């Protein structure tokens, strides 16, 4: 069980994504990349808010949403922990929006499934 500091997070002030969404997305990606592992302790709401110079309620909202989503769990006296989750499922959820956009474009171009799958397999093989 590792304890992480608030410097784990960054925010982009000019982004169209709200700060709480940026934090949620960062945690998802850190979990998928195995930087954050099940049982790891996240920095406190106060530490994150001070480090990023944001309202503590914003960080609290992000943490609560991630707890509801099952990414984090609350441990009395310890703080927020990375929940025991399926790493593969997290990775698939990160890739899904990109594939949905590609599928929509393939439908617009009226390409059949076999052609699209063959192209995707070819692209996957090119980067080995």
Same domain for 91 and 46, yes or no, is no
Residue 128 pLDDT > 70: no
Look up the pTM and report it: 0.67
Residues 93, 63 within the same domain? no
Structure-block tokens of residue 18 = 């709200």
* CA separation for the pair 123, 128 (Å, rounded): 10
User: What pLDDT sits at residue 105?
Assistant: 93
How many whole angstroms from its chain centre is CA 9? Answer: 12
Q: Give how many domains the chain has, as a whole number.
A: 2
Assign 69 a pLDDT band (cuts: 50, 70, 90): confident
Most confident residue range from 34-38, 46-50, 67-71, 89-93:
46-50
Distance separating alpha carbons of residues 26 and 7, to the nearest angstrom: 12
6 within 8 A of 47, measured Cβ to Cβ: yes
Give the range of the structural domain holding residue 64, as residue numbers without chain letter: 6-82
Helix (H, G, I), strand (E, B), or coil: what is residue 50?
helix
Residue 1 belongs to some domain of the structure: no
Confidence class of residue 45 from pLDDT cuts 50, 70 and 90? very high
Residues 11 and 50 in one domain: yes
93: which 2 tokens?
A: 């959820």
Q: Give pLDDT, residue 81.
A: 92
């Amino acid at each position: 069980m590792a304890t992480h500091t608030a410097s784990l997070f960054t925010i982009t002030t000019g982004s169209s994504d709200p700060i709480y969404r940026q934090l949620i997305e960062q945690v998802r990606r850190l979990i998928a990349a195995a930087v954050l592992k099940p049982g790891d302790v996240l920095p406190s709401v106060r530490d994150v808010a001070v480090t990023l110079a944001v309202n503590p309620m914003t960080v609290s909202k992000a943490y609560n949403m991630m707890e509801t989503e099952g990414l984090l769990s609350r441990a009395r006296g310890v703080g927020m922990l990375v929940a025991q989750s399926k790493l593969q499922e997290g990775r698939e959820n990160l890739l899904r929006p990109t594939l949905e956009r590609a599928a929509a474009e393939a439908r617009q171009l009226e390409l059949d499934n076999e052609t699209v799958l063959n192209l995707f397999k070819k692209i996957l093989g090119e980067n080995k």
